[in-house]
Structure 1
Amino acid sequence: MSGHSKWHNIQAKKGKTDAARGKVFTKLGKEIVVAVKNGGASTDTNAKLRDVIAKAKAANMPNDTIAKAIKKASGELSSVNYENIVYEGYGPSGVAVIVETLTDNKNRSAGNVRSAFTKGGGNMGTSGCVAFMFQEKGELIIEKGDRDEEEMMMLALDAGAEDFSADEEEVFVVTTLPEDFGTVREALEAEGIEFLEAAVKMIPDTYTAINEDEAKKFQKMLNLLDEDDDVQEVYHNAEFPEGWDE
Structure 2
Amino acid sequence: MAGHSKWANIKRQKAVVDAKRGKTFTQLSRAIIVAARGGVPDPALNFQLRTAIDKAKAASIPNDNIERAIAKGAGTFGGENSSLEAIRYEGYGPGGVAILIEALTDNRNRTAADLRAAFSKNGGNLGETGCVSWMFDQKGVCVLEKVVDEEQLLEASLEGGAESYEMTEDEAAEVLTEIANLEILSQTLKDKGFKVTDAELRWIPSNNVEVIDPDQARSLLKLIDTLEGLDDVQNVTSNFEMAENLMALSIV
Taking structure 2 as the reference length, the TM-score comes to: 0.85
Contact 2:156 2:189 in 1 (8 A): yes
Runs of 4+ with >6 A deviation:
none
Count of paired positions? 240
- 2:231 matched residue in structure 1: 229
Give the aligned residue type for 2:224. Answer: L
Give the aligned residue type for 1:70. Answer: I
- 2:20 matched residue in structure 1: 19
Cα distance in 1 between the residues matched to 2:34 and 2:46: 12
Contact 1:140 1:197 in 2 (8 A): yes
Contact 1:212 1:241 in 2 (8 A): no
In the TM superposition, 1:14-163 aligns within 5 A as 14-16=15-17, 18-20=19-21, 22-56=22-56, 60-62=58-60, 65=62, 67-76=63-72, 77=75, 78-79=78-79, 80-145=82-147, 147-163=148-164
Unaligned runs of 5+ in 2: none
Give 1:46 deviation, angstroms: 1.5
Check 1:160–1:55 CA distance in 2 against 1; reply closer, same or farther (3 A cut). Answer: farther
Contact 2:56 2:66 in 1 (8 A): no
Contact 2:18 2:24 in 1 (8 A): no
Give 1:55 deviation, angstroms: 4.3
In the TM superposition, 1:148-227 aligns within 5 A as 148-166=149-167, 170-210=171-211, 211-227=213-229
Give the aligned residue type for 2:204. Answer: I
Secondary structure at the aligned position of 2:195 is classed as coil
Give the aligned residue type for 2:69. Answer: A
Give the aligned residue type for 1:45. Answer: L
Contact 2:83 2:106 in 1 (8 A): yes
**Structure with bigger RCO (C-alpha 8 Å, 6+ apart):** 1
Give the aligned residue type for 1:163. Answer: S
Give the aligned residue type for 2:26. Answer: T
Give 1:53 deviation, angstroms: 3.0
Taking structure 1 as the reference length, the TM-score comes to: 0.87
Contact 1:166 1:172 in 2 (8 A): yes
Q: How large is the Cα RMSD of the aligned pairs?
A: 2.3
Secondary structure at the aligned position of 1:195 is classed as strand
Give 1:186 deviation, angstroms: 2.1
Give 1:116 deviation, angstroms: 0.7
Cα distance in 1 between the residues matched to 2:185 and 2:10: 23
Give 1:194 deviation, angstroms: 2.4
Contact 2:94 2:124 in 1 (8 A): yes
Give the aligned residue type for 2:44. Answer: D
Unaligned runs of 5+ in 1: none
Contact 1:83 1:103 in 2 (8 A): yes
Give 1:195 deviation, angstroms: 3.2
Give the aligned residue type for 2:110. Answer: R
Give the aligned residue type for 1:112. Answer: D
Q: 1:149-175 deviations in whole A, cap 9, x for unaligned?
A: 101111122122121233656422210
Contact 1:33 1:69 in 2 (8 A): no
Cα distance in 1 between the residues matched to 2:18 and 2:144: 23
Q: Which moved more, 1:195-204 or 1:26-35?
A: 195-204
